[in-house]
Amino acid sequence: MALGGAAAWPLAGRAQQPAMPVIGFLDLRSPGEAAYAAAAFREGLNEVGYVEGQNSAIEYRWAEGQVDRLPALAAELVRRQVAVIFAGSTPSVQAAKAATATIPIIFVSAGDPVQLGMVASFNRPGGNATGVNLFTTELEPKKLELLHEFVPKAAVIGVLLNPSYVHAETQSNDLLAADRCASCQLYPALH
């Protein structure tokens, strides 16, 4: 009798342990391109006590540079019932937001998350998404200003932008609006 109770105790103990949280990682890039980002992500989780394989799991979904794959990958994470989704790009956030209104989404964005519809406002994001805005597109005019200071006699400044980059048009418009050099011509290469 005592032996039967002792044998059942480990099973009962295991049944009472909380389930390991699963974190979804959704990225537009390939694993090789984003290896540094995934490593930094795991390191940050480790610093706050979430160690992959010990007390948490991470489900990675890579779009391999194909934006059209993101909705299906986001839907997979939702079906997997992850506790939270980390979205590493604007298109990833948009796909995650379209896939779920309840699972929390944490993002890193180069563009304005309010303007892009990721959050309602900076002060009160609302909904299920929040994150960090890197303000990189807002820095483009400053980069142009510094370039004018370093090369004041430059008559033509070329700007190469990836036309498929979600913020390319905003970058181009911001650069054109910021060009303070009347004798300079700015030619963004969008095509």
Q: Hey, CA dihedral for 176, 142, 148, 164, is it positive or negative?
A: negative
Q: What is the CATH number of domain 20-133?
A: 3.40.50.2300
- What are residue 61's DSSP bridge partners? 26
pLDDT at 9: 46
d(C-alpha 157, C-alpha 178), whole Å:
13
* SS3 category, 112: coil
Q: How far apart are CA 56 and CA 60, in angstroms?
A: 13
- Per-residue confidence (pLDDT) for residue 191, from 0 to 100: 44
- Give me the average pLDDT of each 10-residue run along the chain (191 residues): 46 59 95 93 95 95 95 98 94 94 90 82 87 74 79 77 72 69 50 44
| Distance, CA of 108 to CA of 88 (rounded, Å) | 6
In sequence order, the β-bridge partners of residue 73 are none
Tokens linked to 142: 């400053």
Rounded to the nearest 5°, which phi and psi values hold at 60?
A: -90, 140
| pLDDT, position 27 | 95
Rounded CA-CA distance 93/26 in Å is: 8
Q: How many residues does the chain have?
A: 191
Q: How far apart are CA 178 and CA 174, in angstroms?
A: 6
Domain map (residue ranges) of the chain? 20-133, 137-189
Query: Which residue carries 């905003």 as its tokens?
Result: 170
